[in-house]
Structure formats: C-alpha cells, structure tokens
Structure 1
Amino acid sequence: MTEKLTMAVIGFGKSATRYHLPYLMLRTKLQVKWVYARHLNKRPAQQDFYQQQGVNFTDDVTTVLNDASVKLVTICLPPALHFEFAKRCLEAGKNVLVEKPFTSTVAEAQELFALAQQRGLLVMPYQNRRFDGEFLALQQVLQVGYLGEPLELESHFDHYRPDHTAKQGTPADGAFYGLGSHLVDQVVALFGRPQQVSYDIRAQQNPASTVDDYYDVSLFYPNFKATVKSSSLVAQPYPRFILHGTQGSFIKYGIDQQENDLKAGLTPAAAGFGDDSPKLFGELNYQNANGDWINKQLPTPRGDYGRVYDSLYDSILHGAAPLVSEEEAITDLEILAAGFSQLSPSIYQL
C-alpha cells in the first residue's frame, strides 16, 4: 500500500484555493488534513466544498502545529508573514513549502535552510511555474538541442491593466518580487547562477508609487543573456519566449492556460484542462545536421502545478533531491534583492 503524506495548508485566500488545493484534491498520495483560515466561513461555499472532501478547518494555527500526523505544511500567506510562519512550522517539526516570494531577504532564507538542516526537514519555495506548459516546451527545445548553443532568451509576462493609483509598500509587494520571482527562477533552473545582472525596475504607471509595476532585468552568462520583463501596459501580445541559438530560433506566444481554466471554474481533472491552443504552439526555425532549414510547430506539453507536490512527496518520503535546490532558492532571492540595493537602472555582480 502506498504511504500517504498528511499535510496542512496555512491560508485560505486566492493562492490556496486556486494554485494548491485543486491539485492536492487529485493526489491520492497526499492527504490535506487541515486548513488554517484566519477568518472561518469567510468563503463559506469553498470551505463547505473542502470540508465535504474530508478537510478540517481551524482558526488556531497551533492546532496544525501540534498535530503530530502533519508532516508537510504549505504556507499561503502575505509575503511579510512567510518567514515567521515557516520558522514556526520548522520548529514544530514540519516540512514546509512556502509560496513565492520565499522570504523578504536572503538572510531569512539562509536561516530557514539552516534550521531545516538542523531538524532533518525540508523547506522549499513554491516554484509552480516550472510546470507551465510553455516553460516545458522551452525546456524541451534546449534538451533536444534544436537551436545549437543558446545565445539569447527573452521571457515576457505582460498584461494590459491600467491602474494609476499611487501604491505604497515594500519591494516584496511589487511586480518584480511577485511575478519576477517566477521568471528569474525559470532562468536559474535552466542556466544556473548568472555572473552579472542589470536592472530597470520602476513604478511605470504612477512614479509616486513605492511599489514597482514594471521591470526589465537581464541575466548575463558566458556568451548568453536572458532577459525577463513584465509590464501592465502592454496592449498588443508579445511572445512569451524568444530564444535564439547558433542554429536557429524558437518563438512561443501565449501564457499557460491553467490559471485561466481555474478562473473559469474548471478543475485540473476536467478534460482538456490547461491545454494550449494549437494556434499558439511554439514555432521552431532551425538548421539541421544536413544544413537544411526546418520550420515546424512544437506542441505545448500540458502543464501541471501539482507536480510540485509529486516531487515533494518523493523528497520527503524517499529522499529524492528537492525540485528547487537551496542554491537555486538563494540565487533567486539574491537576484531579487539586488534589484533594490541601489537606484535603478543598475548593474549587480554576483
């Protein structure tokens, strides 16, 4: 019989109800025993649905921490609370998965990793966008080697969402920490630690804001550059990925469909959930070994954010290497933090 991993979710907002629980309900090897919600019955219909699936709700976090059967806790709280609650969970003997951004500072992350190592536990950031369909397609292009040696990557995640109100907050509340944490991690997962990073991070819509809504950040490697960029004032769709190599190029339009399907009320079990439209399949144009130019579409693999939990199960119960290594998590945070260490535009040597 397959051993079950009993777990809890701390937080019952959009993160928990959209990006975690729908996937967890399909995984027979994991059992969500508890959900901590600061305000019970704030979302009565959703709470009732999960209670019918055998999930218990509490507004006392110590109930979760004192339950010896709980081996994994997922933290879905505002960024300012990530470090505090992750530390409490580790001290209570729980493995921990933390929503992005992992922590507010590199020092906080290092303290959590050191504590986890002392206790023989795992703590990891939730980098679910390693399982975006378009990222899996990009990964496939690199693994097969269609384009020869990669030379330049552009990674865009844009919207058109005008909002000119002045917003106040910390760097952790802005777009670079919020969304850039995913795009930076995707680059680090593929290419490792860069040598140098350049930054253009701004409050584009209202310069009086202390919270950024625009970033254009380049990561430099030997003979390779990756640029991650996001803006809320892009009305014409731009390619999600543009990759150039010594033997050709790959262009992919469109963002992973899992989030759109979840917003529409579909579950990951629904037929066609998360499937990409064929008209948005990536296009390869490359020169093969015979010198012939090949132009073809690359079907987008189906994304599945629940695969993060599959990897956690194997890591916690079978000792497999974590999906996101400590070195990758620290590099991600160092790149994020360095973007605010001096006025933008700036350059940081890693």
Structure 2
Amino acid sequence: MLTQLIIALVGFGKSANRYHLPYLKLRSQIKLKAVYDHRLRHHQDIQDELKQSGVNLTTNFDDILNDSEIQMLSITTPATTHYSLAKEALNHGKNVLVEKPFCETRAQAEEILKLARDKGLVAMPFQNRRFDSDYLALKKVLDVGYIGTPLSLESHMDHFRPSDQFINSEPINGQFYGLGIHTIDQIVALFGQPQQVYYDIRAQQNQGNLDDYYETQLFYANFKATVSSSSLVATDYPSFRLNGTKGSFIKYGIDQQENDLKAGVMPGESQFGLDAPAAYGHLRYLNSNGDWISKDVITPIGDYGRVYDAMYATIIEQQTKLVTDQQLLLEMQILETGVSIQGPHVAVIK
C-alpha cells in the first residue's frame, strides 16, 4: 500500500495556485490536508473546490502547526516571511518546503538547516526551475556530451515590463533574489561551486529603486557561466547558449508550463507543456568521424511537480535531497554577497 505524505499549504496567492496546487492534484502519494492563509480573500472558486474535496481552509496558523497528522508544510508566502515561518514549522515537528528565495542570508539558512537536522526533519527550497523544459534540454546536451568540454554558457530570463513605480524595499524582494536564485541554482546544480563571481546588479528603471536587472558571471576552471535578467528586453535573447570544444547548442523560448497554466491548460492534459517544434533547441557539433552534424533537440516536457516527488522521496524513503544543504548555502552566499556592495564587483566564493 502506498504511504502518503500528508501536507499543508501555507499561503494562497499566485505561487500556491499556479506552481503548487495544479501539480499536487496529480500526486496520489501526497495528500493535501489543509491550506492556511491569513486572509483567504482570493481564488474563491478554487477555495470551494478544495473544501468539496475535504481540504481544511483556515486563517489560523496554529490549526496547521498543532495538527499531528500533517508531516510537511509547503511555504508559499511573501519572501520576507519564509525564515520565521520555516523556524516555527520545524519547532512544531514539521518538514518544510520553502518557496524561493529560501531566506535572506546564509546565516539564516544555516540556522534553519541545523534546526531541521537536530529535529530529524527535512528543510529544502522549492527550486522548481530545475524542471524547466529548456533547462532539461540543456542538461540532456551536456549529459550526452555533444559539444565536448563546455567552455561558456549564457542564460537569460528576461521580460519587457516597463514601470515608473518606485519601490524602496529589502534586496530579498528584488529581481536578483527573485529570479537570480533560479538561474544561479541551475548553474550550481550542473557545475558546482564557482571560483569567482562577477556581479552587476542595479535598477535600470528609476535609479535608486529596488534592483530590476542583474548579470552574474560564475567562473570555473576554463569555463564561465553568465546568468542575466532584465525587465526591459523587447527582443528575446536565447534562454541558453552553450559553447564547447566540439560544438554549440542554442535554445530560444522559455518553458511552456507557465504559459499553459495562465491559459487554463493544466498538468495532465495532453498538450500541457509541449514546446512548438520551431522553438526546439539547435545543436551543431563535430561527431567522432569529424563530420559536422546539425540537429534539433526535441524539448523535454517540464514538470514542476517533480520537486514534490523529490520531497516525498527524501521524507518517506530517506533519499538524498534534490537541493543539497551545500548547494543551498552556496547559493545564499552568492545572493547575499551580490547585494552587499552597490555596482559591479567581483567576489571569491569559498
């Protein structure tokens, strides 16, 4: 008989309803028992559906903390609340899956991870973009070894969202923490700890505003990965451009999961997450005979729900965490160091 992981969702905003609930519905090994939100004002239709399926909706956090049947909390509240809510949950014996960014500093992350270890629990960030389809295509190219030894990689996650709004807030609410953590995590998952990191983090709109642009270069031995995001890009860069000793790979277009979710196409439906053939990545490389080969790489189907599969495997089956403690601490150090100095700068990461 399948052992279920019984969880509660903390927060009921866009993140919970777009990146979590649609995937939880497909996972019989995970039972959503409760949802907490301090107001429960939005998504009334989804609230009604959850109630009909037996999910308890509450505005009292203690209802979830004191429920001995609930094993894990998935925290999807605003970033500034992650640290305190994760601590409270762990102190009540709950495993935690925490939306990005996990917290604000490496020291906070170390405290959360130590608390989890001391209590025999699991704490992990929700790094769903390890299961972006364009990233999975890149990983496939690297795993097969088409392009030989990697020499350089460029990663873009751009938008065109002009704004004259002035936001005076903490760095945890800026673009580097909000999107940079995704692109940095993808690089760390593939290549590990860099030797040096170059930072350019700033506000392109409304000087002195919260950052809405970053370019971060991660240097390894004879390899450099550049990750970048801007809110003022009207013509797309490739999402990935990879060059190596035997060839190159280029991929335009982001994962289709988010577009489908916005359009009401849900996980499990036949066309969900499918990339258009015109958006397939293109590979050009020298084969073992010295011939140039050009081919498209069919985009794998992404699945953000695989983060939940990973948490199930870790909590129920005692498997290694998808995002290791070492990776999380390294990424928090990269984020924290990046915003500690205004303007372009270089840091040695130890």
Query: Same fold by TM (over 0.5)?
Result: yes
Q: Is the 8 Å Cα contact of residues 12 and 40 (structure 2) preserved in structure 1?
A: no
Amino acid at match of 1:254: G
Q: Distance in 1 between matches of 2:290 and 2:164?
A: 52
Deviation digits for residues 144-166 of structure 1, max 9, x if unmatched?
Answer: 00000000000001111111222
Instruction: Report matched runs for 1:83-94 at 5 Å.
Output: 83-94=83-94
Q: Is the 8 Å Cα contact of residues 13 and 42 (structure 2) preserved in structure 1?
A: no
- Equivalent in the alignment of 1:155: 155
- Equivalent in the alignment of 1:255: 254
Q: Distance in 2 between matches of 1:208 and 1:312?
A: 40
- Equivalent in the alignment of 2:335: 336
Q: Distance in 2 between matches of 1:98 and 1:233?
A: 29
- Equivalent in the alignment of 2:214: 215
**Cα shift at 1:290:** 0.6
Q: Is 1:185 the counterpart of 2:205 in the alignment?
A: no
Amino acid at match of 2:333: E
Q: Distance in 1 between matches of 2:131 and 2:200?
A: 27
- Equivalent in the alignment of 2:319: 320
Deviation digits for residues 177-200 of structure 1, max 9, x if unmatched?
Answer: 000100000000000010100001
Corresponding residue SS for 2:64: helix
- Equivalent in the alignment of 2:306: 307
Regions of 4+ moved over 3 Å: none
Residues paired across the two proteins, number: 349
Q: Is the 8 Å Cα contact of residues 253 and 282 (structure 1) preserved in structure 2?
A: yes
- Equivalent in the alignment of 1:95: 95
- Equivalent in the alignment of 1:128: 128
More divergent stretch after superposition (67-76 vs 335-344): 335-344
Q: Distance in 2 between matches of 1:274 and 1:137?
A: 13
Q: Distance in 1 between matches of 2:310 and 2:165?
A: 41
**Cα shift at 1:244:** 0.2
- Equivalent in the alignment of 2:13: 13
Corresponding residue SS for 1:275: coil
Q: Distance in 2 between matches of 1:148 and 1:55?
A: 51
**Cα shift at 1:41:** 4.5
Amino acid at match of 2:322: L
Q: Is the 8 Å Cα contact of residues 34 and 64 (structure 1) preserved in structure 2?
A: yes
Q: Distance in 2 between matches of 1:6 and 1:68?
A: 10
Q: Distance in 2 between matches of 1:274 and 1:38?
A: 32
**Cα shift at 1:54:** 2.3
Q: Distance in 2 between matches of 1:168 and 1:271?
A: 44
Q: Distance in 2 between matches of 1:62 and 1:165?
A: 36
Q: Distance in 2 between matches of 1:269 and 1:41?
A: 28
Q: Is the 8 Å Cα contact of residues 41 and 47 (structure 1) preserved in structure 2?
A: no
**Cα shift at 1:205:** 1.1
Amino acid at match of 1:309: Y
Q: CA separation of 1:338/1:267 partners in 2, compared to 1, >3 Å: closer, same or farther?
A: same
Q: Is 1:118 the counterpart of 2:123 in the alignment?
A: no
Structure 1 portions without partners, runs of 5+: none
Q: Is the 8 Å Cα contact of residues 129 and 305 (structure 1) preserved in structure 2?
A: yes
Q: Is the 8 Å Cα contact of residues 116 and 122 (structure 1) preserved in structure 2?
A: yes
Structure 2 portions without partners, runs of 5+: none
Amino acid at match of 1:99: E
- Equivalent in the alignment of 1:285: 284
- Equivalent in the alignment of 1:139: 139
- Equivalent in the alignment of 1:60: 60
Q: Is 1:228 the counterpart of 2:224 in the alignment?
A: no
Corresponding residue SS for 1:339: helix
Q: Is the 8 Å Cα contact of residues 160 and 233 (structure 2) preserved in structure 1?
A: yes
Q: Is the 8 Å Cα contact of residues 9 and 32 (structure 1) preserved in structure 2?
A: yes
Q: Distance in 1 between matches of 2:43 and 2:275?
A: 31
Q: Is the 8 Å Cα contact of residues 74 and 98 (structure 2) preserved in structure 1?
A: yes
- Equivalent in the alignment of 2:348: 349
Corresponding residue SS for 1:228: strand
Corresponding residue SS for 2:199: strand
Q: Distance in 2 between matches of 1:41 and 1:328?
A: 36
Corresponding residue SS for 1:262: helix
Q: Distance in 2 between matches of 1:50 and 1:284?
A: 45
Q: Is the 8 Å Cα contact of residues 152 and 226 (structure 1) preserved in structure 2?
A: yes
Q: Distance in 2 between matches of 1:91 and 1:290?
A: 60
**CA RMSD between the two structures:** 0.8
**Cα shift at 1:208:** 2.9
Q: Is the 8 Å Cα contact of residues 7 and 33 (structure 2) preserved in structure 1?
A: yes
**Cα shift at 1:172:** 0.5
Q: Distance in 2 between matches of 1:27 and 1:47?
A: 19
